[in-house]
Amino acid sequence: MEDVTFAGYDTADYLEIEADTAVYLKAVKEEGGDNPTYIARALGAVARACNMAALANEVGMSRAELNKVLSGEGNPTLATVMKVTNALGLRFSIQSVV
């Protein structure tokens, strides 16, 4: 049997417009529940799609630091998540589940 290789997949390559981003983040939240790693990775994909270097500058972090925090390997603080969502033009909201 012939060896088969696959190209790497990066969600960031498919987030072309704001509507894509909103749908993607909603799906991540529904799939991942309250898992902060899912949210961090999703924000990382959005950041890569938008320009990670410019975003890092806007939130006051180095590109490498922001990339690590949003890779799922880091542990972003709520303050960092709020800065990133604001810089991306997104609104972070809390809703009652009752």
pLDDT (tens digit per residue) in 60-88: 999 999 999 998 788 888 898 889 989 98
pLDDT value at position 1? Answer: 64
Question: DSSP string spanning 19-84?
Answer: HHHHHHHHHHHHHHTT-HHHHHHHHHHHHHHH-HHHHHHHHTS-HHHHHHHTTTSS---HHHHHHH
pLDDT (tens digit per residue) in 39-52: 888 899 898 888 88
Residue 15 has pLDDT above 70, yes or no: yes
